[in-house]
Amino acid sequence: MVHFVIVGLLVVASTLGLGLFLTNAPILPLQASEQAITVDWLFNIHWWLIAFFFSLITVFILYSVFVFRRKRGERGDGKYVSHNDRLEIIWTAIPIGIVLILAVIGASTLADVERRDANALTVDVYASQWVWRFEYTAEVQTEAGETILTAVSTDTLVLPKDRQVLLRMRSADVIHSFWVPEFRIKQDVLPGGDEFVRELRITPNLEGLYKVRCAELCGQLHYAMLADVQVVTPAEFDAWLAENAGDCNLGDEQCGQRWATTYGCTACHSLTGESGVGPTWLGLFGHEVSLSDGSVVTADLEYLHTSIVDPNAQVVQGFQPGIMPQDFAVRLTEEQIQQIIAFIVSLQ
């Protein structure tokens, strides 16, 4: 009887020691998302269970080895026990019960982690060897007072606190894996196009700076495939998005297309060959244009540039002067103008 008491006390002491070690030692990264709280809760249940069974087994073995060892002068064999039906049924039934309970808890935790919020912010994530790019859709007011959608493309993942973000992730080459340890959950990012877009939902709940790490071996610079994550207040996020709706780090043609939409060019200039309020852009570059003064010019780079910054200088036959805003030289940077020209040139 005294053996059971001693073993029992040692098991309790060992379990508490191991359990409290994890819950108090700074082993895990910060909890910076609601999903992290849920995941850690499940992790802790497992940890305590493991601590208990580890203690139970280890204490029993060590206690037996020391206390029931052959003493000096002892002779003969130990008692032979072939089996014990009751004990074997018990030590089979208890683990089955535990596994079933953990399965139920695990499933409900998974459902909790994947819960969808209708108000989620969508961010498109593009992974490639060996960079991350994040694309947001922002509402921008045009000069005409219209609200239009524009893409904000960045290499830093900026997220508003306490709002679920839906990451729609795709890879341009090999398999990568999106992982922010402070958010706990991670997701493989697959190549193969729209069919293979993978989603991950995170609700950051702690402002701060974190890092996206690639958690899938993806080539030579896998270790350096990092990106900053910045969790800010919703107001800071809105300000950031509005500010960056003006920047573009895509290719020239794509940026040009964005400016053409953002600044309303395409409302008058079709990309399809149809005549609108203004001449179409399709097939414009390099072709001859009849102007309203009777002359004929070739639509070269200089012509396109002049048409943007000083539209009344060369009015195309059949179109009205003064319709197109005259102030694009001030509203657009020279880089933006060049990008729009690159976009027009690409429309052949």
List of residues contacting ligand CUA (CB under 6 A): 130, 176, 214, 216-218, 222, 225
State both tokens at 305.
Answer: 């540039």
Count the neighbouring beta carbons within 10 Å of the beta carbon of residue 286: 12
User: Is the Cβ of residue 200 or residue 344 nearer to ligand CUA in the bound state?
Assistant: 200
Q: Which residues contact 204 (CB under 8 A, 6 or more apart)?
A: 32, 33, 159, 160, 161, 162, 165, 183, 231
To ligand CUA, the closest distance from the beta carbon of 171 in angstroms equals: 8
* Residue 148, SS3 per DSSP: strand
Shortest distance (Å) from residue 180 CB to ligand CUA = 14
Q: Alpha-carbon distance 183 to 202, whole Å?
A: 7
Closer to ligand CUA by CB, 128 or 314: give it: 128
Could you give the dihedral angle defined by the CA atoms of residues 223, 184, 178 and 136, in that order, rounded to the nearest 10 degrees? Answer: -130
Q: Return the bridge partners of 153, or none.
A: 135
In the bound complex, what is the minimum distance in angstroms from residue 8's beta carbon to ligand CUA? Answer: 48
Q: Which is nearer to ligand CUA, 52 or 196 (CB)?
A: 196
Beta-carbon contacts of residue 142 (< 8 Å; ≥ 6 apart): 148, 262, 263, 264
| CA 15 from centroid of its chain's CA atoms | 38
Question: Smaller CB distance to ligand CUA: residue 212 or 255?
Answer: 212
> How near is the Cβ of 148 to ligand CUA at its closest, in Å?
34
Q: Which residue has the tokens 């069974």?
A: 53
Which CB, 15 or 187, lies closer to ligand CUA? 187
Cβ 225 to ligand CUA shortest distance, Å: 4
**Measuring CA to CA, which residue among 219, 208, 162 is closest to residue 181?**
208
Min dist. Cβ of residue 222 to ligand CUA (A): 4
**Distance from C-alpha of 256 to C-alpha of 250, rounded to nearest angstrom:** 9
The smaller minimum CB distance to ligand CUA, of residues 202 and 225, is found at 225
